[in-house]
Amino acid sequence: MLIDLNGNAVVSIHKICISTYKKDKFLTKAPDLKWTDNIEFAYCFENISEALEFEEQNHVQDFIGNEKQLLIWTDTGKSIYD
């Protein structure tokens, strides 16, 4: 466990999630596909290929529509391509 400068426990899990381009909404699957404001509820993936396979599914593409999205690291909020 890591501790921040204020003495709070920091949990750092290096996983990937799908976010909107502005990184203000995150794709979740509970119980159905939807966008959530809280990254804690994001549907996460262990690796890039898993995330890309999920993202390419027809029902996911239908849900996302024209929304620009990014694959980001859940612990840093940075794009996987940065």
How big is the chain by its Cα radius of gyration, in Å? 13
Q: What is the pLDDT of residues 62-79, one digit of tens each?
A: 999 999 999 999 988 999
- How far apart are the C-alpha atoms of 1 and 10, rounded to whole Å? 7
Per-residue pLDDT at 12 exceeds 80: no
- How far apart are the C-alpha atoms of 9 and 30, rounded to whole Å? 26
Per-residue pLDDT at 3 exceeds 70: no
Q: What's the average model confidence in pLDDT over 2-21?
A: 75
Q: Which residue has the higher pLDDT, 14 or 55?
A: 55
Per-residue pLDDT at 8 exceeds 70: no
* Strand positions, DSSP E, 1-82: 2-3, 9-10, 16-20, 26-28, 34-36, 44-45, 69-73
Task: Report the pLDDT value the prediction gives residue 2, as an integer from 0 to 100.
Answer: 53
Element counts in the chain: helices (H) and strands (E): 2, 7
Cis peptide before 31 (omega within 30 of 0): yes
pTM for the model: 0.80
The full set of domain ranges for the chain reads: 14-73
